[in-house]
Amino acid sequence: MKDKKTLKKELKNLFNSMDFICDNFLSREAAEEKHLKIFYNIYQQLAIAWEHLGLQCKHWDGFRKTKEKNEACRICGKIKGVDDQYYLLPRSGRKKIGKKLFPNSKKVFENREQATIVNDTVDFYGASLNVDVHNRHKSKLFKDKITIADERIVTLKECGIECSIDQHLIYIKMNKPLKKAGKKKYGALLWELRRNDLKKYPIIIDYDENRNFLGLTILK
Protein backbone atom coordinates (compact mmCIF):
# COMPACT_ATOMS: atom_id res chain seq x y z
CA MET A 1 0.00 0.00 0.00
CA LYS A 2 1.33 3.43 -0.98
CA ASP A 3 1.39 6.48 1.25
CA LYS A 4 -0.57 9.63 0.38
CA LYS A 5 2.36 11.59 -1.10
CA THR A 6 3.51 8.74 -3.37
CA LEU A 7 0.00 7.89 -4.49
CA LYS A 8 -0.85 11.51 -5.38
CA LYS A 9 2.34 11.78 -7.46
CA GLU A 10 1.69 8.53 -9.34
CA LEU A 11 -1.96 9.41 -10.00
CA LYS A 12 -0.96 12.83 -11.30
CA ASN A 13 1.52 11.24 -13.73
CA LEU A 14 -1.10 8.71 -14.78
CA PHE A 15 -3.74 11.37 -15.45
CA ASN A 16 -1.22 13.34 -17.53
CA SER A 17 -0.49 10.22 -19.59
CA MET A 18 -4.19 9.57 -20.15
CA ASP A 19 -4.78 13.19 -21.19
CA PHE A 20 -1.82 13.03 -23.58
CA ILE A 21 -3.17 9.91 -25.32
CA CYS A 22 -6.67 11.35 -25.51
CA ASP A 23 -5.71 14.85 -26.74
CA ASN A 24 -3.00 13.86 -29.21
CA PHE A 25 -4.27 10.61 -30.67
CA LEU A 26 -7.84 9.64 -29.78
CA SER A 27 -9.24 13.09 -30.55
CA ARG A 28 -7.60 13.38 -33.99
CA GLU A 29 -10.17 12.99 -36.74
CA ALA A 30 -7.55 12.15 -39.36
CA ALA A 31 -6.00 9.28 -37.37
CA GLU A 32 -5.79 5.93 -39.15
CA GLU A 33 -8.09 3.23 -37.80
CA LYS A 34 -5.25 0.81 -36.98
CA HIS A 35 -3.38 3.52 -35.05
CA LEU A 36 -6.58 4.60 -33.34
CA LYS A 37 -7.16 1.08 -32.10
CA ILE A 38 -3.62 0.85 -30.72
CA PHE A 39 -3.92 4.09 -28.76
CA TYR A 40 -7.41 3.13 -27.59
CA ASN A 41 -5.96 -0.07 -26.11
CA ILE A 42 -3.18 1.93 -24.45
CA TYR A 43 -5.80 4.21 -22.92
CA GLN A 44 -7.74 1.19 -21.61
CA GLN A 45 -4.59 -0.21 -20.00
CA LEU A 46 -3.97 3.13 -18.32
CA ALA A 47 -7.55 3.00 -17.02
CA ILE A 48 -6.81 -0.38 -15.42
CA ALA A 49 -3.74 1.16 -13.75
CA TRP A 50 -6.00 4.01 -12.53
CA GLU A 51 -8.37 1.47 -10.98
CA HIS A 52 -5.46 -0.32 -9.27
CA LEU A 53 -4.08 2.91 -7.79
CA GLY A 54 -7.58 4.04 -6.81
CA LEU A 55 -8.01 0.94 -4.64
CA GLN A 56 -5.09 2.17 -2.52
CA CYS A 57 -6.57 5.64 -2.00
CA LYS A 58 -8.04 6.40 1.43
CA HIS A 59 -9.66 9.63 0.16
CA TRP A 60 -7.57 11.67 2.59
CA ASP A 61 -8.54 15.04 1.07
CA GLY A 62 -12.28 14.36 0.97
CA PHE A 63 -14.63 14.70 -1.99
CA ARG A 64 -15.64 17.47 -4.41
CA LYS A 65 -18.89 18.08 -6.28
CA THR A 66 -18.97 17.22 -9.99
CA LYS A 67 -21.07 18.70 -12.79
CA GLU A 68 -23.30 15.63 -12.58
CA LYS A 69 -23.91 16.45 -8.88
CA ASN A 70 -21.91 13.43 -7.70
CA GLU A 71 -19.05 13.50 -5.21
CA ALA A 72 -15.60 12.56 -6.50
CA CYS A 73 -12.42 11.97 -4.50
CA ARG A 74 -10.04 14.92 -4.78
CA ILE A 75 -7.08 12.54 -5.16
CA CYS A 76 -8.14 9.48 -7.19
CA GLY A 77 -11.38 10.71 -8.75
CA LYS A 78 -13.49 7.80 -7.49
CA ILE A 79 -17.21 8.56 -7.20
CA LYS A 80 -18.47 8.32 -3.63
CA GLY A 81 -20.82 5.40 -2.99
CA VAL A 82 -19.85 3.39 -6.08
CA ASP A 83 -18.69 -0.15 -5.25
CA ASP A 84 -15.27 -1.32 -6.44
CA GLN A 85 -15.13 -4.23 -8.89
CA TYR A 86 -12.02 -5.64 -7.18
CA TYR A 87 -10.41 -5.80 -3.76
CA LEU A 88 -6.76 -5.03 -3.06
CA LEU A 89 -5.37 -6.97 -0.11
CA PRO A 90 -1.92 -6.71 1.53
CA ARG A 91 0.27 -9.81 1.29
CA SER A 92 0.97 -9.75 5.02
CA GLY A 93 -0.96 -8.42 7.97
CA ARG A 94 -4.68 -8.16 8.57
CA LYS A 95 -6.96 -8.35 5.52
CA LYS A 96 -10.21 -6.39 5.47
CA ILE A 97 -13.02 -6.75 2.93
CA GLY A 98 -16.14 -4.61 3.17
CA LYS A 99 -17.83 -3.41 6.35
CA LYS A 100 -20.08 -5.13 8.87
CA LEU A 101 -23.64 -5.21 7.56
CA PHE A 102 -26.97 -5.94 9.23
CA PRO A 103 -30.61 -6.12 8.04
CA ASN A 104 -31.61 -2.54 7.30
CA SER A 105 -35.31 -2.49 6.45
CA LYS A 106 -38.63 -3.33 8.10
CA LYS A 107 -40.16 -4.00 4.69
CA VAL A 108 -41.14 -7.55 3.71
CA PHE A 109 -39.67 -8.14 0.25
CA GLU A 110 -41.30 -10.32 -2.39
CA ASN A 111 -38.40 -12.76 -2.69
CA ARG A 112 -34.96 -13.64 -1.36
CA GLU A 113 -33.10 -11.93 -4.22
CA GLN A 114 -34.71 -8.55 -3.51
CA ALA A 115 -34.13 -8.94 0.23
CA THR A 116 -30.44 -9.86 -0.03
CA ILE A 117 -27.96 -7.22 1.16
CA VAL A 118 -24.87 -9.38 0.77
CA ASN A 119 -24.24 -13.09 0.22
CA ASP A 120 -20.54 -13.57 -0.40
CA THR A 121 -18.03 -16.37 0.10
CA VAL A 122 -14.25 -16.33 0.36
CA ASP A 123 -11.95 -19.37 0.36
CA PHE A 124 -9.06 -18.45 2.63
CA TYR A 125 -6.13 -20.87 2.89
CA GLY A 126 -8.49 -23.84 2.57
CA ALA A 127 -11.21 -22.56 4.91
CA SER A 128 -14.52 -21.34 3.47
CA LEU A 129 -16.21 -18.27 4.97
CA ASN A 130 -19.68 -17.08 3.93
CA VAL A 131 -21.53 -13.95 5.07
CA ASP A 132 -25.26 -13.85 4.31
CA VAL A 133 -27.26 -10.75 5.28
CA HIS A 134 -30.86 -10.30 4.17
CA ASN A 135 -34.03 -8.49 5.11
CA ARG A 136 -37.40 -10.16 5.66
CA HIS A 137 -38.92 -11.73 2.58
CA LYS A 138 -41.77 -13.95 1.44
CA SER A 139 -41.24 -17.61 0.69
CA LYS A 140 -43.35 -20.63 -0.20
CA LEU A 141 -43.49 -23.63 2.12
CA PHE A 142 -45.79 -26.46 1.13
CA LYS A 143 -47.81 -24.09 -1.09
CA ASP A 144 -48.31 -21.65 1.79
CA LYS A 145 -46.58 -18.27 1.80
CA ILE A 146 -44.58 -17.50 4.91
CA THR A 147 -42.30 -14.64 5.93
CA ILE A 148 -38.63 -15.46 6.41
CA ALA A 149 -37.03 -13.44 9.20
CA ASP A 150 -34.26 -10.95 8.56
CA GLU A 151 -30.86 -12.32 9.52
CA ARG A 152 -27.12 -11.94 9.49
CA ILE A 153 -25.52 -15.40 9.20
CA VAL A 154 -21.78 -16.09 9.23
CA THR A 155 -20.76 -19.63 8.26
CA LEU A 156 -17.29 -21.15 8.50
CA LYS A 157 -16.46 -24.53 6.92
CA GLU A 158 -13.27 -26.41 7.69
CA CYS A 159 -12.39 -30.12 7.39
CA GLY A 160 -16.03 -31.10 6.88
CA ILE A 161 -17.17 -29.21 10.01
CA GLU A 162 -19.58 -26.30 9.64
CA CYS A 163 -20.13 -23.53 12.19
CA SER A 164 -22.94 -21.00 11.65
CA ILE A 165 -23.49 -17.90 13.77
CA ASP A 166 -26.58 -15.70 13.48
CA GLN A 167 -28.22 -13.12 15.73
CA HIS A 168 -29.82 -15.77 17.94
CA LEU A 169 -28.00 -19.10 17.57
CA ILE A 170 -24.59 -20.73 17.20
CA TYR A 171 -24.86 -24.01 15.31
CA ILE A 172 -22.09 -26.55 14.76
CA LYS A 173 -22.54 -29.35 12.25
CA MET A 174 -20.04 -32.17 12.50
CA ASN A 175 -18.83 -34.24 9.57
CA LYS A 176 -20.43 -37.62 9.02
CA PRO A 177 -19.67 -40.17 11.79
CA LEU A 178 -17.39 -43.09 11.02
CA LYS A 179 -20.07 -45.49 12.21
CA LYS A 180 -23.29 -45.95 10.27
CA ALA A 181 -25.49 -42.90 10.85
CA GLY A 182 -29.06 -43.29 12.06
CA LYS A 183 -32.07 -42.46 9.93
CA LYS A 184 -33.54 -39.89 12.30
CA LYS A 185 -32.16 -36.71 13.82
CA TYR A 186 -32.95 -35.57 17.36
CA GLY A 187 -32.17 -32.53 19.49
CA ALA A 188 -32.20 -31.98 23.23
CA LEU A 189 -30.84 -29.80 26.00
CA LEU A 190 -28.04 -31.37 28.05
CA TRP A 191 -30.17 -31.71 31.17
CA GLU A 192 -32.76 -33.64 29.15
CA LEU A 193 -30.32 -36.42 28.29
CA ARG A 194 -29.66 -39.53 30.36
CA ARG A 195 -26.28 -39.80 32.07
CA ASN A 196 -25.30 -42.82 29.99
CA ASP A 197 -26.08 -40.91 26.77
CA LEU A 198 -24.01 -37.92 27.90
CA LYS A 199 -20.94 -40.14 28.13
CA LYS A 200 -21.16 -40.76 24.37
CA TYR A 201 -20.71 -37.09 23.46
CA PRO A 202 -17.10 -35.72 23.59
CA ILE A 203 -18.04 -32.26 24.87
CA ILE A 204 -16.22 -30.23 27.53
CA ILE A 205 -18.19 -27.32 29.03
CA ASP A 206 -16.32 -24.22 30.24
CA TYR A 207 -17.86 -22.34 33.20
CA ASP A 208 -16.85 -20.11 36.10
CA GLU A 209 -17.33 -20.44 39.86
CA ASN A 210 -20.83 -18.95 39.50
CA ARG A 211 -21.79 -21.61 36.95
CA ASN A 212 -21.92 -19.08 34.10
CA PHE A 213 -21.47 -20.72 30.70
CA LEU A 214 -18.20 -19.56 29.06
CA GLY A 215 -17.76 -21.87 26.08
CA LEU A 216 -17.33 -25.46 25.02
CA THR A 217 -14.79 -27.76 23.44
CA ILE A 218 -15.67 -30.64 21.13
CA LEU A 219 -13.14 -33.45 20.91
CA LYS A 220 -12.77 -34.85 17.41
Once rounded to an integer, what is the mean pLDDT over residues 9-37? 89
- pLDDT at 2 (0 to 100): 86
Are residues 43 and 132 located together in one domain of the fold?
no
* Within a domain: 157: yes
Q: Please provide the distance, in angstroms rounded to a whole number, between the alpha carbons at the two ends of the chain.
A: 41
pTM of the model as a whole: 0.74
Lowest mean per-residue pLDDT among 86-90, 155-159, 207-211: 86-90
What pLDDT does 178 receive? 63
Asked if residue 48 has pLDDT above 70, the reply is yes
Average pLDDT for 58-67: 94
Residues 205 and 148 in one domain: yes
The residue segments making up the domain with residue 161 are 112-176+186-218
148, part of any domain: yes
210 within some domain: yes
Q: What is the pLDDT of residue 71?
A: 96
Higher pLDDT, 177 or 185: 185
How many angstroms separate the CA atoms of 113 and 139, rounded? Answer: 11
Does 56 share its domain with 131? no
Checking if the pLDDT of 179 tops 90, the result is: no
22 within domain boundaries: yes
- The mean of the pLDDT values for the chain is 92
Mean pLDDT confidence for 42-63 = 94
66 and 120 in a single domain? The answer is: no
Same domain, 68 and 132: no
Domain for residue 100, yes or no? Answer: no
Q: Residue 189 pLDDT more than 80?
A: yes
Q: What is the pLDDT of residue 85?
A: 84
pLDDT tens readout for residues 73-129: 999 999 998 888 888 888 889 998 988 999 999 999 999 999 999 999 999 999 999
Instruction: Evaluate whether residue 101 is within a structural domain.
Output: no
Question: Does 82 map to a domain?
Answer: no
Domain count, the chain: 2
DSSP line for the chain: ---HHHHHHHHHHHHHHHHHHIIIIIT-TT--HHHHHHHHHHHHHHHHHHHHHHTT---TT-EEE-TTS-EEETTT-PBTTPPPSS----SSS----S----------BSSHHHHEEEEEEEEETTEEEEEEEE--EEEEETTEEEEEPPEEEEEEEETTEEEEE-SS-EEEEPPPPSSPPPS------GGGS-HHHHTTS-EEEEE-TT--EEEEEE--
Structural domain includes residue 31 = yes
